[in-house]
């Protein structure tokens, strides 16, 4: 009976060792993939910052003004002036729809019929 217990214990130890071995290599693989993703994220952030800098450089007002002047014949773009912009109080917003009350309204215990 002791022999059977020793064999079962030995098999359990071997099984746990095999499991720990596999988990170790799986963990190392995940860590390697994580480091690779971190490098890719860093490279993407660098590319994004370069693209933002290029966008800011290409959208300089002086450059856009020159391009509008050069391509006036084909585009017909005029330079922007402050008087071309409107104010917020000049914007006409649509009026909110009026709600119709079609049912009786109870006011202080009295039923008041509304006029449709």
Which candidate, 67, 85, 86, places its Cα nearest to that of 77? 67
Token pair belonging to 115:
């006029």
Helices (H), 59-115: 61-70, 72-75
Token pair belonging to 49:
């910052």
Please state the φ and ψ torsions of residue 98, each to the nearest 5 degrees: -80, 140
Token pair belonging to 46:
């660098």
Residue with the two structure tokens 């214990």: 9
Token pair belonging to 36:
């690779």
62-116 pLDDT, tens per residue? 898 888 888 888 888 877 777 888 888 888 888 888 877 777 666 666 555 555 5
User: What pTM does this model have?
Assistant: 0.50
């Amino acid at each position: 009976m002791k022999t059977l217990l020793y064999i079962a214990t030995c098999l359990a130890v071997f099984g746990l060792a095999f499991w720990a071995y596999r988990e170790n290599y799986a963990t190392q693989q995940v860590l390697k993939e994580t480091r690779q993703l971190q490098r890719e994220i860093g490279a993407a952030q660098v590319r994004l910052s370069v693209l933002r800098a290029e966008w800011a450089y290409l959208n300089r007002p002086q450059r856009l003004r020159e391009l509008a002047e050069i391509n006036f014949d084909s585009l017909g773009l005029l330079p922007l002036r402050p008087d071309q912009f409107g104010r917020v109080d000049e914007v006409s917003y649509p009026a909110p729809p009026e709600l119709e009350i079609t049912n009786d309204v109870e006011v202080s215990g009295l039923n008041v019929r509304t006029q449709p």
